[in-house]
Structure 1
Amino acid sequence: MRTTLACGVLVGMWTGVALAAEDAGAVRARSDPARGYCERVRGTSRAEAALELAPEVFASIGAVNAGDAQGGSDETPLGAPKLRLTAGLGYDFVGLYRGHTLRSRAEAECRRYQALAALQGAVQQGTRLGETAALQARAKALAESLPRAETLVSQLRDELRDGGATLEELNAVQLRLDHLRALARDTEQARARLALEPALAEGQDLGALLMAFESADDQVEALSGGLRKARAWRLSVRGGYDEVFDVDQDTPLFGQLTLGYNLGHLWQGRANAQAREGRRQETRDAVDGAPRQVRQLLGELRITEQGEQQRLREVSTLVSDLEGQLREVERLETRQVRRFRDYLLLELARLKAEQAYLGAHLKTLQALLGEVKP
């Protein structure tokens, strides 16, 4: 009877809270969506690596034939069974490689999951991806223009009471002001909804993130193949105390070095290469996989970028024209000209808000598409 005892304990703890500043002034803590997964795979790998890296303590006790114990020659009678005690340490040096590889694979799995979580968050947002900075720019532009618009409407009401303005003029200006208020309200609601969703890091390149995911995924498979190949080898040393009771022994100690090789290793190389290539294809082509969905999203974002570049050119031209008209109008002092000036100011406020949104959104889209110029 043989009883083998192996002991190893490793504990790892990591805590962190990511703080995200909200534009409204509120700051809330956001946890890393990959934190729990990384802690699990790291803990699992350390538990498995502990058994690979630590030596084995063994002990056995049983009965052996006395003749065999004394050499087993023809001149030695077999005799009665004798009690035998063996105890010692054993170590498999291949376990050093397996333990290190297990930990490396856990880190690769963590990087893979972190990239996957970011990719899935991007897929969830879809074509709304990158709107956070754009909405912030629009909100800032509206915050600067709305007070002046409110003042214009208030002044026009006073002029209406004094007979200096008509009801139609007041209604026209109020309607434009209402459009600005609605745009500001919609902007804040959109920002609030986006704040509930996972956000990519600022300046994140979706293509680079996709490459990081595929690289980490490939490394996981490569390290798994290395572990499979390592199972074919064994280089172990064992030594300790070995005594047969009631038998004279000069030195009741023993030592043994063992090298083992499984011939199945000769066929593993091609099988591991097939598994690695198959995993690459599976990851790249899976219908419901994040990589395929992100590639489709990248195409949609490029279409959005092209459309918004055209719209930004149009809006910028309109803003320049209206600013030029406003400079000309402000030189005149007639009542009709002042009304036209009010209309121009409110329309200019709307166009500048759209211009700010498009400019910020295009900048974010170019970063996501990897098209930002140095």
Structure 2
Amino acid sequence: MRTTLAWGALMGLWTGMASAAEDAGTVRARSEPARGYCERVRGTSRSEAALELAPEVFASIGAVNAGDAQGGSDQMPLGTPKLRLTAGLGYDFVGIYRGDKLRLRAEAECRRYQALAALQGALDQGSRLGEAAALEARARALATSLPRAETLVTALREELRDGGATLEELNAVQVRLDRLRALARETEQAQARIALEPALAEGTDLGALISTFESADDQVEALSGTLRRARAWRLSVRGGYDKVFDVAQDVPLFGQLTLGYNLGSLWQGRANAQAREGRRQETRDAVDGAPRQVRQLLGELRITEQAERARLGEVSALVSDLEGQLREVERLETRQVRRFRDYLLLELARLQAEQAYLDAHLRTLQTLLKGVGS
């Protein structure tokens, strides 16, 4: 009776722990990009661990030779066949270890897939990676300068009607305004296209993301090797009812403790090490693997960063020069100076939009590349 109560308490405790782990896993999965995959591997691991952690119920019935030998001939059986019934519980304590490793492997597989999903998202964006913040900065700059440019052109049209401006002057300003409008449309379209793609979390370091993927992938193989070695061991206890009918038995119960070890495990260590190293090389060097493709993308982004850094220096110098010229011409009131001022304002608006784009894009690229050597 006490044995039954003990097993009942153990099973109740396991059920409660499994339920709590399931609830926690469900809460985590709801906020993860790889929710479906993580739910599947966690559910699979719980299913496999349930068989490892739970006791075994067994029963058998058959005939055995029992009693004293009948006659002295070697051809005679040991005794008269008797009916035997055996039933009870068995438990392999190594299953606790295997069940825990199954759970850890599922979590490692989930982390690996999350990192892989992020890497694949980066590959999908390709050279546009990190451009979202830059486009937003350009859009803000244009949103500030376009209304002023529109007002300037409207005022110039009124001057043309009054004879204060020429058609050539109006056309020159309108061409510059049209460039600003086209840039604004291109920016809006690029933002709409990026919005359709999976977003990479802000502040993501691609180098660290690759390391996370490779570390989780290595942990999956290490835990798989541990599980393979654990299958060589068995530490089990079995007990229950053992009745041989028509034979006097004082207590028809039995108990047995068994320790087993498969000698094949002596050769598993080297094989597991080979499998682990092979998996590392496969993950790193696979032609169609995301880590290799992302490393190539990082090289391209490094080239882009260097080019845009140089361009930002050039644009910043032009902006400073135009702002200086604008301050000078605003002190003068002649008609020709006002036209030159209008040209400067529109050209300055375009350069400031480019400057905002380059500055924001460089900051994003520096974050993406901070874990990668120059």
TM-score after normalising by structure 2: 0.89
Q: Residue 235 of structure 1: SS of its match in structure 2?
A: strand
Match in the other structure for 1:338 = 338
Q: Residue 209 of structure 1: SS of its match in structure 2?
A: helix
- Pair 1:142-2:142 in alignment: yes
The answer to whether the 8 A contact 1:57-1:89 is kept is yes
**Runs of at least 4 residues off by over 3 Å:** 7-13, 15-18, 76-80
**Where do residues 83-94 of structure 1 align in structure 2 (5 Å cutoff)?**
83-94=83-94
**Where do residues 258-297 of structure 1 align in structure 2 (5 Å cutoff)?**
258-297=258-297
Q: What is the rounded CA distance, in whole Å, between the counterparts of 2:68 and 2:148 in structure 1?
A: 107
Q: What is the rounded CA distance, in whole Å, between the counterparts of 1:86 and 1:160 in structure 2?
A: 110
Q: What is the rounded CA distance, in whole Å, between the counterparts of 1:15 and 1:98 in structure 2?
A: 25
- The alpha carbon displacement at 1:266 in A equals 0.6
- The alpha carbon displacement at 1:125 in A equals 1.1
Q: Residue 282 of structure 1: SS of its match in structure 2?
A: helix
Partner amino acid, structure 1, of 2:162: D
Match in the other structure for 2:6 = none
Partner amino acid, structure 2, of 1:112: R
- The alpha carbon displacement at 1:64 in A equals 2.1
Match in the other structure for 1:51 = 51
Q: What is the rounded CA distance, in whole Å, between the counterparts of 1:368 and 1:199 in structure 2?
A: 14
- The alpha carbon displacement at 1:66 in A equals 3.0
Partner amino acid, structure 2, of 1:308: E
The answer to whether the 8 A contact 1:87-1:242 is kept is yes
Match in the other structure for 1:365 = 365
- The alpha carbon displacement at 1:128 in A equals 1.0
Partner amino acid, structure 1, of 2:139: A
Structure 1 unaligned residues grouped into runs of 5+: 1-6, 19-30
The answer to whether the 8 A contact 1:67-1:77 is kept is no
The answer to whether the 8 A contact 2:286-2:292 is kept is yes
Q: What is the rounded CA distance, in whole Å, between the counterparts of 2:67 and 2:130 in structure 1?
A: 84
- The alpha carbon displacement at 1:246 in A equals 2.3
- The alpha carbon displacement at 1:32 in A equals 4.7
Match in the other structure for 2:249 = 249
Match in the other structure for 2:232 = 232
- Pair 1:180-2:196 in alignment: no
Match in the other structure for 1:113 = 113
- Pair 1:190-2:190 in alignment: yes
- The alpha carbon displacement at 1:78 in A equals 5.0
The answer to whether the 8 A contact 2:29-2:38 is kept is no
The answer to whether the 8 A contact 2:34-2:113 is kept is yes
Q: What is the rounded CA distance, in whole Å, between the counterparts of 1:159 and 1:242 in structure 2?
A: 113
- The alpha carbon displacement at 1:341 in A equals 0.7
Q: What is the rounded CA distance, in whole Å, between the counterparts of 1:299 and 1:360 in structure 2?
A: 19
Q: Residue 248 of structure 1: SS of its match in structure 2?
A: coil
Partner amino acid, structure 1, of 2:266: L
For residues 68-120 of structure 1, the C-alpha deviation after alignment (integer angstroms, 9 at most, x for no partner) is 89xxxx9x995543222211111111111110000100000000010011111
Q: Which has the higher helix share?
A: 2
Q: What is the rounded CA distance, in whole Å, between the counterparts of 2:363 and 2:108 in structure 1?
A: 32
- Pair 1:100-2:100 in alignment: yes
Q: What is the rounded CA distance, in whole Å, between the counterparts of 2:348 and 2:140 in structure 1?
A: 15
Match in the other structure for 1:311 = 311
Structure 2 unaligned residues grouped into runs of 5+: 1-10
Q: What is the rounded CA distance, in whole Å, between the counterparts of 2:203 and 2:317 in structure 1?
A: 28
- The alpha carbon displacement at 1:214 in A equals 0.4
Q: What is the rounded CA distance, in whole Å, between the counterparts of 2:172 and 2:28 in structure 1?
A: 54
Q: What is the rounded CA distance, in whole Å, between the counterparts of 2:29 and 2:327 in structure 1?
A: 52
For residues 222-271 of structure 1, the C-alpha deviation after alignment (integer angstroms, 9 at most, x for no partner) is 00000111111111111111112222111111100001111111110000
Q: Residue 67 of structure 2: SS of its match in structure 1?
A: helix
Partner amino acid, structure 1, of 2:305: E
TM-score after normalising by structure 1: 0.89
Match in the other structure for 1:352 = 352
The answer to whether the 8 A contact 1:206-1:368 is kept is yes
Q: What is the rounded CA distance, in whole Å, between the counterparts of 2:96 and 2:79 in structure 1?
A: 44
Q: What is the rounded CA distance, in whole Å, between the counterparts of 1:79 and 1:333 in structure 2?
A: 129
Q: Residue 201 of structure 1: SS of its match in structure 2?
A: coil
Q: Cα distance 1:77–1:108, how it changes in 2: closer, same or farther (>3 A)?
A: closer
Q: Residue 85 of structure 2: SS of its match in structure 1?
A: strand
Match in the other structure for 1:27 = none
The answer to whether the 8 A contact 1:67-1:78 is kept is yes
The answer to whether the 8 A contact 1:322-1:348 is kept is yes
Q: Residue 316 of structure 2: SS of its match in structure 1?
A: helix
- The alpha carbon displacement at 1:158 in A equals 0.8
For residues 199-219 of structure 1, the C-alpha deviation after alignment (integer angstroms, 9 at most, x for no partner) is 211111100000000000000
Partner amino acid, structure 2, of 1:94: V
Q: Percent identity?
A: 84
Partner amino acid, structure 2, of 1:55: P
Q: What is the rounded CA distance, in whole Å, between the counterparts of 2:322 and 2:68 in structure 1?
A: 109
Number of residue equivalences: 349
Partner amino acid, structure 2, of 1:215: S
The answer to whether the 8 A contact 2:29-2:39 is kept is no
